[in-house]
Every structure is written in structure tokens, then in C-alpha cells.
Chain A
């Protein structure tokens, strides 16, 4: 059976839309997670702790740490709030994914993304 051209185009558009939806779903913001980077207002929104205050605009899920080995490879352990992991960075651009209020700043001899 041959479909009319407009019907064939319609079917193709539906397939394209479905594929696009699946691709978008697969490419959601993978940079942040419940462990590190997600927005939060309290600890229950995170795997471990929610860092809040001026240094962490909109809140940031992070992990308690005693040294860098307690943090994911993209993060360093800083002494804020008794020891938490923060994203390493080299320039402010590296911190844009956390929001416009974040910048790359030196803390404990390491450059990390933070707000103040």
C-alpha cells in the first residue's frame, strides 16, 4: 500500500519528534547529580549534604570529605562547612553550568566554583 505524500510526511514527522524526544531525554544535564551539583534547599534533596549560604547560590548538593580522595575526580575537598567537595575549575567559564552567580575562585590553594 502506498501512502499519500502528506501522510508519509506526517508519519516521518512523528518518528522524527519521537527520536528527538528520546535524544533530549538521553542528553539531560549530566553534569550535576544528587551527589554533586544539584540545586537544593535541604539535605534530603541530596545524597549527602546540601551546601547553602552566599557561597553556594541556589544551594548545591555535595559530599562531606576529609581529603580529595573522598570526592569525585572533577571536585576537590575544601574546608568549608567542615569539609565538602566543590567543582574544580580554571576559569569562570568552567563554572557557568552552575549558574551565573558562580565563579572560579581560589579556596584552600585550589581553584573551585563558588558564589562569593
Chain B
């Protein structure tokens, strides 16, 4: 019996061939039936909003400390979104400015001192997903009002922002975002301080919602 089953015959060969052809014919249909991977546009939508909380390092005349940022996203192309942000930075107090021996005011604030409010306009480029994470890069320009209360020093800064992060959807229209960025630029302050460079590093995590 087993010998008979194992024996090859022209009918059996024809049957095998027919099954293989049928399977090959079905493959494209099967592939089409699988759900297509979501695009960046599917995940971020045309418009979105978000909020993130994190920390930013300051120093000298750059405020640092806790940072809360609100985002507004607007789709520009298949891969790019306008990312408008409003940020509030709050660090501790403490005077750190003094007059050097030429009577020039010098400020040497720590990593988490001062306060700042910033509006920034950036472009966020979204890349192909890796696993469940969708990486992105961001570049933009900001306008920040800076204040060091204990030194009565205030001014404005124009920082360039360069950063990147990852985004993962946790529910329909809801995503968690983790981001890091560097900001560098120039500031102009009162109390006779000259134009000073500003520099900061920031990390943040937040949540984003696609607007209907």
C-alpha cells in the first residue's frame, strides 16, 4: 500500500502541477488582501496637535530647566509637515551675573536657571517606519523672550533648532513622540550685555493627536 502511494504516475504528476499553478495564480490576490502599511500621511493626518514635556539645558544667558511645548502640525507634502511650536521653559532662580574688572556685565547661569517663552516655526520630515517606530527630523527657527529675574536681565534670542525623534501610534489618531534637539543662535539682552550666543540641548516626550 505504501509502496503504491509512493509510486509516481502521470496522473499524480499532472495533479501536482495543476495545484502549483493554482497557488501561483492566487498569490497576487493574497498579497492584495493583506492590509497596506500605513503611510506617514495616514499616521499624521493633514493636521495635528501635540504637547510634550521635557528638560532643556541652559547656561550663561540661555534659560534651562523644565520645558513644556505645544505643537501644531500641518501637512506640506507626503513627507513634510509644518511644525509650529510654543514652548515655555522654567528653571530655578539665583543671581549669576557680575561685573568683571572692566565693569562689563558677565552672566554665568547654570544648566537650569531662568525662564523663556518661545515661538518657533519648523519643518518636520517623516521617514519610513522601522518596526512600529516612525523616525523624523526637524529644523526650524524660533523667537524667544528670555528672563533671569534675580539678575534683572532679559532679552530676546533667535535660536536655530535641529532635532529628531521617533513617533509611534498607540491608538487610532494618537501617537507617543520622543524627541531630542539642539538649539543655537544669538541673543540680545539688557543691562549692557553684548550680543551673546545661546546654546541648548533638549529632550522631550509627549503625545500627538490627529485632527479630524
Chain A residues engaging chain B, CB cutoff 8 angstroms: 21-22, 25, 28-29, 32-34, 37-40, 44-46, 58, 61, 97-99
Which A residues lie within 8 Å of B96 (CB)?
A: 34
**Distance, CA A61 to CA B99, complexed state (A):** 10
Q: Is the CB of A25 within 8 A of B101?
A: no
Contact A97 B98 (CB under 8 A): no
Q: How far apart are the CA atoms of A101 and B106 in the complex, in Å?
A: 22
SS class of chain A's interface: helix, strand, loop or mixed? mixed
Instruction: Provide the bound-state CA to CA distance between A25 and B186, in Å.
Output: 12
Q: What is the interface size of chain B, counting residues whose CB is below 8 A from a CB of the partner?
A: 14
State how many angstroms separate the Cβ of B51 from the closest Cβ of chain A: 33
Residue in contact with B98 in the complex, picked from A21, A33, A58, A99, CB distance below 8 Å? A33
> Which residue of A is nearest B106, CB measured?
A28
**Residue contact B95 to A99, C-beta cutoff 8 Å:** no
Q: Is the CB of A34 within 8 A of B101?
A: no
Inter-chain contacts of B97 with A (CB < 8 A): 34
Count CB-based A-B contacts (< 8 Å). 43
Residues of B within 8 A of A25 (CB): 60, 196-197
Our pick among B60, B101, B108 for the contact of A39 (Cβ within 8 Å) is: B101
A32 touches B95 (CB 8 A): no
Closest residue of A by beta carbon distance from B61: A25
The answer to whether A34 and B98 touch across the interface, beta carbons within 8 angstroms, is: yes
A46 to B100, CA, bound (A): 12
| Shortest distance between the CB of B153 and any CB in chain A (Å) | 13
- Could you list 4 further interchain pairs (A-B, Cβ under 8 angstroms) beyond the known A29-B100, A34-B98, A46-B98? A25-B197, A34-B95, A40-B98, A44-B95
Contacts of A29 in B (CB 8 A): 100-102, 106
A25-B60, A29-B106 given; A45·B197 CB < 8 A:
no
